[in-house]
Amino acid sequence: MLKFILAPALALGLLAIPLGAEAKPGGCLKYGTAGAVAGHYAGHHGVMGAVTGCALGIHKRREYKREMRTQHQSGVPTTTQRSVAPGAPGAPQSTY
């Protein structure tokens, strides 16, 4: 009975994932959660790990925004996403 409930719920959950996601660095919640889990497993220091992870997340997000702002002002295209797979026809070739 449980698998008849879980299977459709899992399928609906997978369909709800956005396909066009943009890769941005996480903020306080993402890094704080990872820090809390790491701190918990590293000797029951979950709160300290969450605070440290949150601070790191805020730093990474500000660094990312600063980089995007300077690239936008200078007119340089962003390099966060690859439009062509490496090695595919039309992809930039390595000089090595």
Q: Is residue 66 part of a domain?
A: yes
B/e letters for 78-87, b = 16+ CB within 10 Å, e = fewer, are eeeeeeeeee
Q: Is residue 64 part of a domain?
A: yes
* Entry pTM: 0.53
Q: Is residue 34 part of a domain?
A: no
Residue 69 sits in which domain range?
46-74
**Mean pLDDT taken over the chain:** 76
**Inter-residue contact 35 to 52 (CB < 8 Å):** yes
Q: Is residue 51 part of a domain?
A: yes
Tokens of 81: 């996403």
Q: Is residue 52 part of a domain?
A: yes
Q: Which of 14-23, 69-78, 81-90 has the highest mean pLDDT?
A: 69-78
Q: Is residue 62 part of a domain?
A: yes
pLDDT value at position 60?
92
Q: Is residue 1 part of a domain?
A: no
User: Count of domains in the chain?
Assistant: 1
pLDDT tens across 20-47, in order?
556 677 888 888 989 999 999 998 889 9
pLDDT above 60: residue 59? yes
